[in-house]
Amino acid sequence: MKRLLLVAIAAAVAAALTGCVTLFLPSEPESAPELREPQTPAGEPEDWVIVYYESGSDDEAMAAMDALLDTELAADEALVADGLGWIDGNEFGQGSYDLYFIGYDHDEMWAVLEPILATAPVKWTRVEFWDDLDGEAKAELTQ
């Protein structure tokens, strides 16, 4: 009897150690949304959209940075979903908070970014479009 008990315990331990575990996962809901794969153009991203929130004071620029987090995330998500680019970073200082977006076509990027930024809690003051960051801005918008 003791030997049978030891064999049963050893079998249970061996099963646990070898990963013989059954997982019961919930089934997917019937109305699961379709996820599309982003389509990324060939080549390296070189176009930039730089959005400035100029306020004149570092305190106001810091407040803009805090207020814009959800907007930045939404903008990045939209660019990535459309395969156009992504947010590359931000910069703070001299009374301005600046967002840097890199991608494949700044005109297409702005078409996606503009409606998102229009609903932001802080309004941008200037937007620059660059073919690369080595030269000069190709175009500039102001409000």
pLDDT along the chain (143 residues), means of 10: 47 49 50 50 83 93 94 96 95 94 95 97 95 82 84
Q: What is residue 21's predicted lDDT score, i.e. its pLDDT? A: 47
Q: What is residue 42's predicted lDDT score, i.e. its pLDDT? A: 61
Task: Kindly tell me the burial class for residue 118, based on how many C-beta atoms sit within 10 Å of its own C-beta (0-12, 13-18, 19 or more).
Answer: exposed
Instruction: Give strand ranges (E) for the chain.
Output: 47-54, 85-93, 96-103, 126-130, 139-142
Structural domains in the chain? 47-142 (3.30.70.600)
Q: What is residue 30's predicted lDDT score, i.e. its pLDDT? A: 55
Q: Which of 118, 106, 46, 51 is nearest to 79 (CA)?
A: 106
Q: What is residue 34's predicted lDDT score, i.e. its pLDDT? A: 52
Q: How far apart are CA 30 and CA 43, in angstroms?
A: 38
Q: Are 92 and 50 in contact (CB under 8 A)?
A: no
Q: How far apart are CA 17 and CA 122, in angstroms?
A: 56
Most distant CA pair in the chain, distance: 87
